[in-house]
Amino acid sequence: MKQLEGTWLNSHEENAGDTLVYRPNTYRFPPARGRTGFAFKEYGRFEQFDIAPTDGLAGRPGTWVIEGNSLNKVRIHLNEGPEPDYDLEVISLKNKILKLRKLPVEKSR
């Protein structure tokens, strides 16, 4: 899913319920103390951006892959950290707005 490639930051002001809204890092966000996000890179490379102790961003590398036959489910694997694997459901991606839902990981894998 080539449209996912790029760096996305959480537009937490637009989140609704369990739907998370992300915009490109070039978007002019209102001021905030920090924004989490991630970068979907070529060849399945991934980087998750968490808030660092100094209020900056700390990157955690990993991988991403489209899960099964569903083009809207993405499996994330981080190389380290307390939550190394999770799935994302792509609800929509249009007009440079990415809407996702974080899914629980099935334990049988």
pLDDT in tens, 63-96: 999 987 777 999 999 998 777 899 999 999 999 9
Of the candidate CATH numbers 3.10.450, 2.40.50, 1.10.3860, 2.40.128, the domain formed by 2-103 belongs to 2.40.128
76: CB partners within 8 A, 6+ apart: 38, 46, 48, 62, 63, 64, 85, 86, 87, 88
Contact 10, 37 (CB under 8 A): yes
What per-residue confidence (pLDDT) applies to 53? 83
Domain boundaries, the chain: 2-103
% of the chain exceeding 90 in pLDDT: 69
